Amino acid sequence: MFRDEARIEVAAGKGGNGAVSFHREKFVPLGGPDGGDGGRGGSVFLVATPELNSLLPIGRRFRYGAQDGEKGTKMLMAGKDGHDLELEVPVGTQVFDAARGHLLRDLVRAGQRLEIARGGRGGLGNARFATSVRQSPRHATEGKRGERRELRLELKIFAEAGLLGLPNAGKSTFLAAVTAATPKIADYPFTTLAPQVGIAALAGDETLVLADLPGLIEGASEGHGLGHKFLKHVERCRVLLHLVDCSPEADTPPEEALRVIEQELERFSTAVAEKARLLVATKVESEEGELRAQALERAAGRRALRISSVQRRGLKELLVAAHRAARADALGA
């Protein structure tokens, strides 16, 4: 199982101290108290963004702190508030209190913002303590400390793109061709018994997290084969890449392979059946393979992307299309 977690400590800023000061100017030697209040300490927020697909960036550091508030000054001038700190995390991040273990919030929507540590209040200046009886108070209060918490972050999304198809559809070969993952590859069913995850590098700093899921068979929605274990993983992917073997040596005709997978997804749950899917014709390395890919398109009533992982053809186009679909799902979440 692919687990994307991070453990961090966050500290909000301390409030600034209040000031002790008395008004002084020419001809006013005994002015009243004019010490200002301290500024509020900055708070720490977590913000869900579709621009990230992993907790690795935030996990590179352990401690994060917001800015302290500034102390008050004379002439009733309050200190500046400390700047808030916003930490970006991927959409789908679950936030746990590490000490108590309970879930604080599940950040499931792009732009969702959670105040995780509140900044300390600023101290009061001595002007706040002046009364008709006590007209020259000589004390102020200190700013309060900001909240401090240790958090455990867990990315709920299993992967951005999940590879599904009948056993030997070419999923593991594709994953090995586009990422640094090293899934077990062999010419017999259920080579992949547990999900294998890899990260494909795209243009610039963009990446795509892919999961090679265990092969699906007819009756999986009823628990046959790897059954529900497989389908639970499917629920956690943003977009599904349905790979169909179109080589002349394929055990199952493309049209039949398509029917089996589509039927099992629909039987399992409506939510899974309605997930964004890209149809992919694999092992298209000959004229006969192309004809089988065309037959697949006719049966599906939609376009099928052609790839050959061995010849490395069509891989970039597929990754770009999958990345676009995954981002669209994240923004619409």
Q: Give residue limits of the domains in the chain.
A: 5-155, 159-331
Q: Which residues are within 8 A (CB) of 104 and not within 5 positions of it... i.e. 6 or more apart? A: 95, 96, 97, 114, 116, 151
Cα→Cα distances 107→27, 131, 141, 212, 301, Å: 61, 49, 37, 25, 36
**What is the predicted pLDDT for the residue at 285?**
96
Decide whether 5-155 matches 159-331 in CATH topology: no
Fold (topology level) of 5-155: Spo0b-associated Gtp-binding Protein; Chain: A, (2.70.210)
Q: Give me Rg for the CA atoms of the chain.
A: 29
Q: What CATH code is assigned to 159-331?
A: 3.40.50.300
**What is the predicted pLDDT for the residue at 319?**
96
**What is the predicted pLDDT for the residue at 218?**
41
Tell me if residue 218 falls in helix, strand or coil: coil
**What is the predicted pLDDT for the residue at 169?**
87
Sheet containing strand 305-306, edge to edge, reads 196-201, 207-212, 159-164, 237-245, 276-282, 305-306
Distance CA 219, CA 183 (A): 25
Does pTM surpass 0.85?
Answer: no
Which residue stretches of the chain have pLDDT < 50?
1-2, 183-193, 217-228
